[in-house]
Every structure is written in C-alpha cells, then in structure tokens.
Structure 1
C-alpha cells in the first residue's frame, strides 16, 4: 500500500525492429509506481539454428525488479538450450523441434530458470523477495506458441477480431485455488494467503517452500501454460502487455484501439506510446509495458483514417479553446473541468477502445498553451477521488480486485450496499 508517486513518471522506453516477416515495437512507462519493475524481451532470429524463429515477452515484476530483469535476459536460453526442447535434434541436423518438443522445452525452461534463480544469494537468504509474471510468444514459420505464467496477457488479432487470448492465473480460479489449498494455503480477498495477487509466477520463493510438494504443486507455481496455434494469412498482430494495461482496457478495446492507430501511423513505437498514454489517462496506476508484433497482414495506413484523425484533433483543439474562452470571465478553468465538459459531449470519431482518453495529449497540449503558468494539477481524476471514497478506490486498485477492470463501478456497488444496510 502507498507505493505511489505524487506525480507519474511518463518518460518511456522504446524499441523496434523487423525480420522474419514481422515488425515489432514496444513501450514501457513507470507511471505512478515508485519503482519500475517491468522488463521485456524482443529477439528476431533465435540463436543456435533457429534464425527463422522469433521470441517476444513481457515480465511484470513485483516486490522488486530482480527476477523480472534476470528472466528478460536469460529465460530464452533456458528454454532453447534444455534437452527437452532439442530432444529430436541430431548433430548437424537442420530439422526444427517438433510441436511437442517446443511445448515441453518451454515448460522445462521455466522450471529450470526458477530453480536456478533460487540459488542466488539475495533470493536464497530473503534479502530479495521479488517475483515476476511472464507472458510471451515464440513464433516459428508455421506456429505461434503462446506462453503464460501469471496475470500478464497476450492476444492474437486475426481477420478483424480477437482470435486467441491467454488466461490470467488468478488465485480464485478453481484449478489454481485447488492447488493452493492442497499446499496448505488459502485464498483471501482474491490473493494467495491474502497477500499475492497471482497464483503462478517466477521467483516468489516465500510461496514455494512446502515440504513434500513438487515445484508445480506449491502455493505459487512457476509452470507456464503453453498453447500452439497454426499461423494463418489472416493474422494481423499480437499484443503482449502487463496488467497495468489490461486493468483499464479489455481485449477487444485494446485491439480495436491498436487497429485504429495502425491506420493512422506505421510507427509501431508511436502506436505503443499511444497505448500507454491512453491507459494512464484511463486511470492505470501500475507500471505499463506493451509489445506489439505485426504480421504482413496488419492494418495499413489509410488516407481516410489519417484525414478523420486530423479533423478530430482540430475539432478538439477548437473545442478546448471555446471552453476556456467561455470560462475565462470567471477565471481560468482547471483541466479537470475541461475534461468533464468534453466527457459529457457526444464527440464523433474518437479512437475506438480509447475514447477521449486516447486524445488526452491533444487536449492537454492546447490547455497548456492557453494556460502556460498553471500549477501542476496532477491527474484530473485525482481531484474527484479525494477523501474516503478515493482511498477506498485506490485500495481496490492496489488489491487488484477484478471487476471487469472497472474499480469505480465496484466501489459504487459496495457503497450502495453499505447505505442500504444502514
């Protein structure tokens, strides 16, 4: 609790690349968190005979960044170098691993790196208690292997719709809850022993010390779920992101937003930056990381979409000017007031899935130009979420209680129930 800054850190780390018929871009932002605990991997052309294969992953660390950072550098080698992954290979052979070998090798790689990190002195003696989720894709010429351990998520967008999504590993899921209870633990407030919000993760060795239980039978398991999907010409893009993104956008919302942004820019770093900015403005208080992998059939820049987007920007700029001029007689309005007015209006052609938050940077730029001496106001939502209600709302966010990503709606239900009881 309370591990938040007074003002979000909005500087972004970006990278991009291309190869094997793929293009990728990524963005990460610390946001409101005191520390940046996310990490990522992007490899086009896997070493040691798999040059036509690629690997991308996002790691969402908690209680520190040690495990996430180590995995981002070494998980791939633990996967591709183990005997299960290479089981069908013969010396000098150019044959690729079979589907079953790949899936088995990925699982073995996770278990091996988790066992290996346990021997790090700071993790062994309890000086570092960090852990990390991991979500990734291994892309071969024929298959996409989706890999998930924790509550980060990957989605495949194919033929204009969400075709596949990994499933979050939450303690309240029946299968996860059964394992936790069999290991002598409990699930309280949707957390392992009332503390950890994920039921599978790398690291987190405080939850992996039950005598007589194997590594996949512990309170928290390092075992990933691996699903293979045949590639298709209709494949458009894959999104990998931590829960700082998914907490405020559904699978469909994020994919529709990304699709709309790809139609106005082919700069994948810029598209990813738009995503993290939009999620920040939608109320995400966590670190945010996204990797966007585009296939050859990904949406292309459309002259019509570019024109409509420019017209929308122009409309918002003029509308903000009107609001501020009208309010100027009574004093310069704060940014929250401007946002509230725009939110109440039916503005056409806002980015699908992003809404007004997807254009917040445009609004803020105009506001700052017209009111250059304004004091830092923080997020407009912060003023509305002050007092007891704001503290309760933030507590729900920190506890990661899932309610369709809408913490405010859950809080309203809880308060209504309390009033009725009184």
Structure 2
C-alpha cells in the first residue's frame, strides 16, 4: 500500500532585471541626452547607442564624440538572489516486508494547499517522511493529522519575507508540533501503545530550508554534485545519543535502545515512555538543520532508512543526478533509488522524495570518462525540416536511382 498526499505544482516566475553597467569587460550602453544630440547635429530625438566590445578593436572615446558628462551615470545593481523553482517526485514500495508502515507527504505549493489560512514567503513547500514500526498505526495517524498539528495547533508564524528571525520562529513552532503529535498518539485509543514512527519534515520558504528530524530518516542536499547531509540519524550507538540515553536510565543492547528499538528518537512507542511525564531515554524532540539555497544547490533527497541502510548519501546523489541528466524526471529518480536499494538487498520498506530546485536540471557537465558522463543521455542533433521543393527533388532522385 502506498499512500500519497495531494500534490500541487506551481511554477515561480524568475524576474528579468536589466543591468546598466559601463565597463571594458561587458557591453557598454550609453544614453545621449537631447542636448548632447542637438550639439552634434540638428534636432534629432534622443538616441540610444549600443556599442559591443570587440577584443580586436579599441574604440577611442573621441571616435564616439562623447563626453563623460553626456552619459547617464551607471547605477550599481545588486544581482538577483537565487529563487528556487520547485518540482518534486516520490515513490514508495513495501520492499521485502509483509506490511507497509511508511507514510509520506509531498506538497510543492504550501500556500495553495492551505488556502487563505496562513501567509508565507514564496515559494513555499512542505515534505514529510514517516517510517513506522510496531505496526502502521502511528505513521498513518501522523500523516493524517500533520497539517493540523503543524500549521494550526502549534501556532505557526506568518510572514511575507523569509529571514533568519522568521525561520527561528518556524523552528520553535515545528518543535511544539512534534511534541504535540507525540502526546496525541498517547491519547488516541486507536493507536497501539507499542506503535511508533520516526519523522522527518522539510519546510522551504524562499531560499531558506528547515529540516526537522526525529529518528533515522535522512535529508541529503546535492550541492554541485556533492552530498550534504541535512539531518543526523538518531541511532542508540552514536556517541551523543548513547550518552543522553544512559543519563536518562536507558541502556544499549546490541545496538538497540533498551534491547528493543533501533532508534533513540521517535513519536509514539508509549509502552517505552510510560508513565507519562516521567523522563524517558526515547524522546520525540527533533533536531534541526537550516540551509540557505544558492545556484549550487540542485536537489534534495528525503528518504526512510530502507534507502540509507544499503547506500551512502553520495551514492544516492549520484543516482539522482545521473537520472536527472538522462530524463529530468524527479519521480522517476525516486523510483530508481528504490530499485537500487532493492538490488542492494534492503530489508525494509522504502520511501523516497526527490525535490528539484530549478525548472530543469542545471548540473555542471560531467568530466569525460566519469560515471556520470557514461550515464548521460546522448545529445540528439537538431534536424531542420526539408522544404516541399527539396522533398520533391529527393523523391525524384530516389525514383530515378531505383
């Protein structure tokens, strides 16, 4: 069973800005005022001359008969900041397991999905991967109620511009939402106390990216072909988690928290957290990572541990990058990641979301002989359509020759 979320796509237009510069390294644009034009010849209207720099020709200012006072002073213009253009794809598979316990949410246009409830900087998007254990109850509950828990119950902030202050407010709100979701699982009688789920959510506002993680799902950013991990797997064997667990009275047995659970943070699992309100080595507190996207950032991979158990973050980035060059389809890339994990003998459910930050893949060209270069799609030469006269001549030549 593969559960999907409503997906809303919207292209974000890129603004065109004209730059006015006077320099020897780029084209020069010189505006001549009406007074200067009148001094050169009888009354023509104002004229705009464009002189393109040619390396082999040195054009002296005297040849243009212009004075510095005749030109409009150049005004320095700040270059446009990178604006991501969001498109995504996802794929989920039961893998070798008997039951599907993964859930995910994929929303490319959060404002359109929520309607007029909240005001956000644009573009805006929301993604989540929930990897259940002890049955599907907890993951299904979180997927079903995530929008309410995060954007209504936790007091989500509003703003028209994305900045560090706004992102810090969002972080506090998402932290409250994770803790509220954990308590909601305890209160819902339809959810087994032995059922739990890891949770990783990604929020994008403008160029700002916020990742919240509790568990062993992972978010990996591709930056100029290199894998940048935007989350830390919460496994009991890791030093920081082990220390926290032991300080709270827990123990690690063969890599498992209290000999039972392979993660040290999760929502639900209330049979390990009771009595309610008492300190527990298993917590729902998420860890956060923030990132500011630039032109170097190509795409983001969000996946459950069924992917990361059998491949490195860089391996996953290489697969998606090569796929985008071949067919430029993020959904197909997600499917290819799952296929590769199955080939590598994963033993878990599989869920992947691939989020691209441009309207088309714009990664740098692979070097000759590299793996990416070998996997790159062949470029087709453009053929012009023959005219009717040429077609007649070609047909006649073929008939005469036969």
TM-score normalized with structure 1 length: 0.63
- Any gaps of 5 or more consecutive residues in structure 2? 13-84, 376-402
3-state SS of 1:171 partner: coil
3-state SS of 1:18 partner: coil
Match of 1:111 in 2: 179
Q: How does 1:98-137 map to 2 (within 5 A)?
A: 98-123=166-191, 127-137=192-202
Which structure shows the bigger proportion of residues in helix conformation? 1
Query: 1:99, 1:301 → 2: CA distance?
Result: 28
CA contact (8 A) 1:171 1:190 kept: yes
- Higher Cα Rg, which structure: 2
Match of 1:191 in 2: 256
Distance apart, 1:85 and its partner CA:
3.2
Match of 2:108 in 1: 44
Q: Does 1:286 align with 2:351?
A: no
3-state SS of 1:219 partner: coil
Q: How does 1:262-411 map to 2 (within 5 A)?
A: 262-296=324-358, 299-300=361-362
Q: Does 1:33 align with 2:122?
A: no
Query: 1:302, 1:231 → 2: CA distance?
Result: 17
CA contact (8 A) 1:236 1:299 kept: yes
Query: 1:83, 1:14 → 2: CA distance?
Result: 21
- CA spacing shift, 1:110–1:244, aligned 2, 3 Å: same
Query: 1:260, 1:12 → 2: CA distance?
Result: 27
- Equivalent position to 1:228, from 269, 290, 300: 290
Query: 1:104, 1:258 → 2: CA distance?
Result: 32
Distance apart, 1:190 and its partner CA:
0.8
TM-score normalized with structure 2 length: 0.66
Query: 1:140, 1:201 → 2: CA distance?
Result: 26
- CA spacing shift, 1:302–1:211, aligned 2, 3 Å: closer
Match of 2:126 in 1: 55
- CA spacing shift, 1:159–1:15, aligned 2, 3 Å: farther
Query: 1:212, 1:73 → 2: CA distance?
Result: 25
Query: 1:212, 1:277 → 2: CA distance?
Result: 43
Q: How does 1:156-235 map to 2 (within 5 A)?
A: 156-210=221-275, 213=278, 217-235=279-297
Query: 2:133, 2:4 → 1: CA distance?
Result: 19
- Equivalent position to 1:255, from 317, 324, 345: 317
- Any gaps of 5 or more consecutive residues in structure 1? 1-8, 309-347, 355-422
